[in-house]
Amino acid sequence: DADVTQTPRNRITKTGKRIMLECSQTKGHDRMYWYRQDPGLGLRLIYYSFDVKDINKGEISDGYSVSRQAQAKFSLSLESAIPNQTALYFCATSDSSGLRYNEQFFGPGTRLTVL
């Protein structure tokens, strides 16, 4: 099955460390997104990319950076992790063509803990 995968699934790190979260998809979708989920706050958009050369900041991009290495790969980096970046992170994809273009498909999530 075409899928969205995230690595790692769980990560514990220390304040100040650089962390990279990776997302890969086999759906052939052109658009990819990074969200973080915090209890009571729902999902908030960090960055999104409509194609390899188009990357945009979301509502909470401070402290994060991204790289779209290929259509199928979208990585999220925390240059210097801090405890309030402890959260569940989701990658999502969507297809700009066809009738399902406004539906997003989510990966299983990465649980990040910053000590």
Classify the C-alpha dihedral 69-55-108-25 as positive or negative. negative
| Number of residues lying near other proteins (CB under 8 A) | 23
Distances (CA, A) of 45 to 13, 59, 88, 91: 22, 6, 12, 10
Tokens of 95: 């297809």
Q: Which of 17, 20, 45, 71 binds other proteins (CB under 8 A)?
A: 45
- Distance, CA of 53 to CA of 85 (rounded, Å): 27
**According to CB under 8 A, which residues from 75 to 114 bind other proteins?**
90, 92, 94, 96, 101-104, 106-109
Q: Which of 1, 42, 53, 97 binds other proteins (CB under 8 A)?
A: 42
**Residue ranges in contact with other proteins by CB under 8 A:** 4, 31, 35, 40-45, 48, 50, 90, 92, 94, 96, 101-104, 106-109
